């Protein structure tokens, strides 16, 4: 099950109460105040982990509470601090304040750790209030309450390459050919109901490049407004460095105008509002083993006008797959070097 959104409520531990006590021991005259301080409440931490890849554990258990601090005791004994709790999230999770909508943190790397709710301070015992003129204080403090907050978690996949296109253009079959991923493949629309990730390794005599490819579920016209699988998966494209746009040039789709298909998907990327249409993109004509020659010709003409190289491929027979893999690797390396030079 792939869950990429969740709302949780967290409560940090309350501080323990300060104690009011007086030392009353035989042979100890004027024992004085001896109430200890309360312990601090436990914090709630959130940490990114590569061992998690969904938010499903938050969907079914949305409330978390850290331990409260123990109360102070006599003989100036300080109460024990409450235990912290750590919530593990997948890399790529963005944390938002549910009430204000403000972005709290973006977990873009593994093992990042932040406090999302702070435990309350322990109250002071009456020993803390003793002065030279106030030698028998009865004042003591209650512990401060821990923070209580609601958060919205949103997972955006961290992939180098995103495969986009209409449903059933061959994205799942392609990712199964170029990586070890084994997504569900079938001949009906929206076979892919969750993004699939695969690691691709491209090596030659001089160099080896590895990158992560995400098979983004099929987009349709109106996806940016929620049509089809809509914005549920468009946001996963935001973090990719390269897009590979697959266009079905066979007659299996039932759509006659391949240029219109391209324009629709490009329009959905642009209308989503995250500059997705400006990302580097490779065009691939899929299913060329059963291609309609006229459709392939029109797509080639469109690519020539846009000064884009077109990669005809067949994920079934393997034709053109290696050329596309090497082109993806070259483009990923180029983008990585450009980003490294900037930052």
- Can you give the pLDDT at residue 41? 97
Domain end, chosen from 135, 155, 175, is at 155
- Please choose, from the candidates 108, 11, 20, 106, the residue with its C-alpha nearest in 3D space to the C-alpha of residue 67: 11
pLDDT in tens, 138-159: 999 999 999 999 999 988 766 7
Q: Which of 41-50, 128-137, 334-343 has the lowest mean pLDDT?
A: 334-343
Q: Which of 27-31, 82-86, 275-279 has the lowest mean pLDDT?
A: 27-31
Domain end, chosen from 155, 186, 202, is at 155
- Please choose, from the candidates 169, 164, 178, 161, the residue with its C-alpha nearest in 3D space to the C-alpha of residue 318: 178
Query: In this predicted model, which residue has the larger pLDDT, 130 or 31?
Result: 130
Q: Are 127 and 253 within one domain?
A: no
Dist CA 109 CA 106 (whole Å): 9
H or E element that contains 342: helix 321-342
Q: Are 140 and 181 within one domain?
A: no
Domain harbouring 84, CATH code: 2.70.210.12
Q: Are 26 and 126 within one domain?
A: yes
Mean pLDDT of the chain: 84
Q: Are 200 and 292 within one domain?
A: yes
**Pairing verdict, β 93-97 and 103-106:** antiparallel
Q: Which of 24-38, 70-84, 99-113, 173-187 has the lowest mean pLDDT?
A: 173-187
Dist CA 44 CA 237 (whole Å): 31
Structure tokens at 203: 């090596």
Q: Are 183 and 279 within one domain?
A: yes
- Can you give the pLDDT at residue 3? 56
Domain harbouring 301, CATH code: 3.40.50.300
Q: Are 166 and 130 within one domain?
A: no
The pLDDT of 38-56, averaged and rounded, is 90
Angle between helices 171-178 and 321-342 (to 10 degrees): 80
| Number of other CB atoms surrounding residue 312 within 10 Å | 20
Q: Where are the beta strands (DSSP E) in the chain?
A: 5-11, 44-49, 63-65, 85-90, 93-97, 103-106, 113-117, 148-155, 161-164, 196-203, 208-215, 242-248, 281-286, 310-312
Q: Are 123 and 239 within one domain?
A: no
Residue 167 CB-half CA count within 13 A: 19
Q: Are 143 and 181 within one domain?
A: no
Whether residue 178 is predicted with pLDDT greater than 70 in this model: the reply is: yes
Domain housing 7: 1-155
Q: Are 192 and 133 within one domain?
A: no
- Can you give the pLDDT at residue 1? 41
Domain end, chosen from 107, 136, 155, is at 155
Q: Are 165 and 111 within one domain?
A: no
Q: Are 192 and 285 within one domain?
A: yes
- Can you give the pLDDT at residue 190? 40
Q: Are 65 and 197 within one domain?
A: no
Q: How many domains does the chain have?
A: 2
- Can you give the pLDDT at residue 218? 55
* b/e 286-299 (16+ beta carbons within 10 angstroms → b): bbbeebbeebbebb
- Can you give the pLDDT at residue 225? 44
């Amino acid at each position: 099950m792939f869950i990429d959104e969740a709302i949780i409520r967290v409560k940090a531990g309350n501080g323990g109460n300060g104690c009011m006590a007086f030392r009353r021991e035989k042979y100890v005259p004027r024992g004085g105040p001896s109430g200890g301080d309360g312990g601090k409440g436990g914090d709630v931490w959130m940490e990114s982990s590569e061992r998690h890849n969904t938010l499903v554990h938050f969907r079914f258990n949305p409330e978390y509470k850290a331990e409260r601090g123990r109360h102070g005791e006599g003989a100036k004994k300080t109460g024990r601090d409450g235990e912290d709790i750590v919530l593990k999230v997948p890399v790529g999770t963005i944390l938002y304040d549910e009430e204000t909508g403000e972005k709290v943190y973006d977990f873009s790397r593994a093992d990042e750790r932040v406090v999302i709710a702070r435990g309350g301070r322990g109250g002071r015992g009456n020993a803390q209030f003793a002065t030279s003129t106030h030698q028998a204080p009865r004042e003591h403090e209650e512990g401060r309450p821990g923070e209580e907050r609601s958060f919205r978690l949103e997972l955006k996949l961290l992939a180098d390459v995103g495969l986009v296109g209409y449903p059933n253009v061959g994205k799942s079959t392609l990712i199964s050919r170029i990586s070890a991923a084994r997504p569900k493949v079938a001949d009906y629309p929206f076979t892919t109901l969750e993004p699939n990730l695969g690691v691709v390794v491209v090596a030659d005599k001089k160099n080896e490049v590895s990158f992560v490819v995400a098979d983004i579920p099929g987009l349709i016209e109106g996806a940016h407004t929620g049509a089809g699988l809509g914005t549920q998966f468009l946001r996963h494209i935001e973090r990719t460095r390269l897009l590979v746009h697959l266009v079905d040039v066979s007659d299996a789709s039932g759509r006659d105008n391949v240029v219109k298909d391209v324009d629709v998907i490009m329009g959905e990327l642009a209308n989503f509002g995250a500059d997705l249409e400006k990302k580097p993109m490779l065009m691939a004509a899929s299913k060329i083993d059963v291609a309609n020659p006229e459709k392939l010709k029109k797509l080639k003409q469109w690519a020539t006008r846009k000064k884009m190289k077109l990669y005809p491929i067949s994920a079934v027979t393997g034709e053109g797959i290696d050329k596309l893999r090497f082109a993806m690797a070259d483009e990923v390396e180029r983008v990585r070097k450009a980003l490294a030079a900037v930052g």
